Amino acid sequence: MGRSRFESRSGVGIIQALQCVGRDYGASSIVCVCNATYCDSLEPINEERISGGNYLNYVSSKSGLRLEPNTGTLSNEVDDATAVVFTVDRNTTYQEILGFGGSLTDSTAFNIRNLSEDVSENLLKTYFGEGGAQYLYLRIPMGASDFSLHFYSYDDVENDVALDHFDLIDMDYDYKIPIVKQASELRGEVIKLFTTPWTSPAWMKDSNDYMSGSLLKTYYQPWANYFIKYFDAYARENVSFWGLAPQNEPTVYRNNIPVMGWSAAQERDWVANYLGPTLVEAGYGGLKIMALDDNRNNLPDWVDVVLSDEAAAEYVSGIAVHWYQDTRTNDSVLEQTHEMHPDKFLFYTEACNLVRVKTSDFGDWEIGEKYATSMMQAFNNWVSGWTDWNLAVNEDGGPATFGNKPDIFGYNAAIIVNSTGDEFYKQPPYYFQAHYSMFVPPGSVHIQLNNHNDGGLLHVAFLTPEETVVVILFNE
């Protein structure tokens, strides 16, 4: 196997508690197998165990290392003129980090609850527990997405403008809400939820169809009221939200999944005149509204239009970005967007490898490398947060629904659930993201990392609230 490595270097007091139990499916690397009694993890240690001048180094590699800890000694001297040298500059600071997370789709919730209680507990610990990735954010689709067991809205009664028939479904009450509460318990603080719809009820659209069309203007206010109904319903279950995006991928007008197209001007006007005022009136004015929620090839033009209206700009707190055009769009658009709108945070809200899942791909290291590249680009260009797509899919990458009918094939994810074997597999993308989420807590600040001959290493550095320096390096 190759020598590709992903490293986190820090003074954070964590060491490895349980080693990865690797399994090789014939891909370029391995998965780590977890069950009811065992799952690899890290555990806190006393800071005093790290003597002055030393650092902790955590390595994940194509050859099979997963957050493998060791120590080293910092030096101000260079023995070789060709040596790779990085110099931390704490005084040059950039954006504050909001945090990391993933998406609790219907499919993810179904897969988690399809495991035994002990295994599902270990899976959630893997993401939210102290020895796990320590995620803080969860993105929850408002209604059906492509990763649902079927297409639906919360009010499919034709012409119910008053939304008298609005109600959550069993997937919310029996799956997602209990998982959110369990995740908060494991995290030790309330998980920060944000939501976005894939579509309105079909009867509100000009197509009368989940998979195409746009919202009819006559329903602009009922659609804003729909959001309030949703937040109220969750609030009655003692679950609150941190934020929202008005629409998932608004540039898509037709697909074989739930969609609803908006122009930037339409989103601007709806936020300024309907959604924003309605949220404030209902007591939800503190929610963080994120514009766009689409790929970065739409930057900065989309948000320029949305934020051109003073009222819309007042309601919008951030800009949500997806990663699917990252390889085709220069990362400079992120910095350009920040420079034009410095008071709005940038947050990556969806990342997924859009390749149909095959067992022979389990453990594919190259998928993890895509995360490494995108995350380095993002955090070196003013991005403050990152959420992955599905937290967990089954061995077929689902369950997923395309064309309003079940599809046995879905897409890859950081964790694969094998409900028959009552176990789950942590894939390379889990560890690539954990190199950030485990060591860069909310409130950290991106700082300057200077280099002399970087050796081709992608690099980024942070300063935590505890004044710990975290350096993340990726060697392809």
Beta bridge partners of 394: 417
Residue 10 has pLDDT above 60, yes or no: no
**φ and ψ of 287, to 5 deg:** -65, 140
pLDDT in tens, 450-468: 988 888 899 999 999 999 9
pLDDT band (50, 70, 90) for residue 375: very high
The better pLDDT of the pair 213, 17 is held by 213
Which of 7, 267, 350, 423 is catalytic? The answer is 350
Shortest CA distance to 433 belongs to which of 345, 358, 367, 338? 367
Q: Are residues 129 and 209 in the same domain?
A: yes
Check if the beta carbon of residue 362 is closer than 8 Å to that of residue 416: yes
Check if the beta carbon of residue 24 is closer than 8 Å to that of residue 363: yes
Question: Quick one: pLDDT at residue 46?
Answer: 47
Q: What value does the mean pLDDT take over residues 306-320?
A: 99
Residue 47 has pLDDT above 80, yes or no: no
Would you list the DSSP string of 316-351?
EEEEEEESTTTTTS-THHHHHHHHH-TTSEEEEEE-
Among this protein's residues, is 467 annotated catalytic?
no
Q: Are residues 268 and 190 in the same domain?
A: yes
Q: What is the CATH number of the domain that holds 198?
A: 3.20.20.80
Q: Are residues 60 and 126 in the same domain?
A: no
Q: Are residues 255 and 372 in the same domain?
A: yes
Residue 73 has pLDDT above 90, yes or no: no
Residue 51 has pLDDT above 80, yes or no: no
Check if the beta carbon of residue 387 is closer than 8 Å to that of residue 349: yes
pLDDT band (50, 70, 90) for residue 216: very high
Q: What value does the mean pLDDT take over residues 230-259?
A: 98
Residue 81 CB partners (closer than 8 Å, separation 6+) = none
Question: Quick one: pLDDT at residue 253?
Answer: 97
Give the number of C-alpha atoms closer than 13 A to the C-alpha of residue 334, restricted to the C-beta side.
29
Question: Any idea which of 45-59, 132-146, 435-449 has the lowest mean pLDDT?
Answer: 45-59
Question: Quick one: pLDDT at residue 2?
Answer: 38
pLDDT band (50, 70, 90) for residue 3: very low
Q: Are residues 273 and 169 in the same domain?
A: yes
Q: Are residues 46 and 157 in the same domain?
A: no
Question: Quick one: pLDDT at residue 1?
Answer: 31
Instruction: Tell me how far apart the alpha carbons of residues 428 and 56 are, in angstroms, rounded to a whole number.
Output: 21
Check if the beta carbon of residue 295 is closer than 8 Å to that of residue 322: yes
Question: Quick one: pLDDT at residue 71?
Answer: 83
Q: Are residues 366 and 470 in the same domain?
A: no
Distances (CA, A) of 16 to 20, 67, 130, 236, 399: 10, 7, 12, 40, 33
Residue 348 has pLDDT above 60, yes or no: yes
Beta bridge partners of 416: 393, 425
Spatial strand order in the sheet of 393-394: 22-23, 31-34, 423-426, 415-418, 393-394
Instruction: Tell me how far apart the alpha carbons of residues 296 and 273 are, in angstroms, rounded to a whole number.
Output: 26
pLDDT band (50, 70, 90) for residue 213: very high
Among this protein's residues, is 350 annotated catalytic?
yes
Q: What is the CATH number of the domain that holds 21?
A: 2.60.40
Beta bridge partners of 450: 87
Q: Are residues 72 and 215 in the same domain?
A: no
The single-letter code of the amino acid at 439 is: F
pLDDT in tens, 397-445: 999 998 777 776 689 999 999 999 999 999 999 999 999 999 999 999 9
Question: Quick one: pLDDT at residue 349?
Answer: 99
Q: Are residues 208 and 333 in the same domain?
A: yes
- What angle (nearest 5°) sits at the alpha carbon of residue 217, between those of residues 213 and 221? 115
User: What does the mean pLDDT of the chain come to?
Assistant: 94
**pTM across the whole model:** 0.95
432 three-state secondary structure? helix
Q: What value does the mean pLDDT take over residues 342-350?
A: 99
Residue 334 has pLDDT above 50, yes or no: yes
| Neighbour-count burial for 63-86, b at 16+ CB within 10 Å, e otherwise | ebbbbbbeeeeeeeeeeeeeebbb
* Residue for token pair 């389990």: 362
pLDDT above 70 as % of the chain: 94
Check if the beta carbon of residue 25 is closer than 8 Å to that of residue 359: yes
Question: Quick one: pLDDT at residue 406?
Answer: 77
Question: Any idea which of 22-36, 78-92, 326-340 has the lowest mean pLDDT?
Answer: 78-92
Handedness of CA 105, 111, 115, 120 (dihedral sign): negative
Instruction: Tell me how far apart the alpha carbons of residues 51 and 225 are, in angstroms, rounded to a whole number.
Output: 57
- What angle (nearest 5°) sits at the alpha carbon of residue 392, between those of residues 386 and 394? 150
Residue 361 has pLDDT above 80, yes or no: yes
Instruction: Tell me how far apart the alpha carbons of residues 90 and 172 are, in angstroms, rounded to a whole number.
Output: 44
Q: What value does the mean pLDDT take over residues 266-271?
A: 99
The better pLDDT of the pair 146, 43 is held by 146
Q: Are residues 318 and 330 in the same domain?
A: yes
Shortest CA distance to 156 belongs to which of 110, 200, 111? 200
Shortest CA distance to 352 belongs to which of 205, 224, 249, 228? 249
- 264: domain range? 96-443
pLDDT above 90 as % of the chain: 84
pLDDT band (50, 70, 90) for residue 50: low
Question: Quick one: pLDDT at residue 307?
Answer: 99
Q: Are residues 126 and 100 in the same domain?
A: yes
Which of 7, 249, 267, 369 is catalytic? The answer is 249
Would you list the DSSP string of 221-284?
HHHHHHHHHHHHHHHTTT---SEE-S-SSTT--B-SS------HHHHHHHIIIIIHHHHHHTT-
Q: What total of structural domains would you count in the chain?
A: 2
pLDDT band (50, 70, 90) for residue 16: low
Q: Are residues 136 and 158 in the same domain?
A: yes
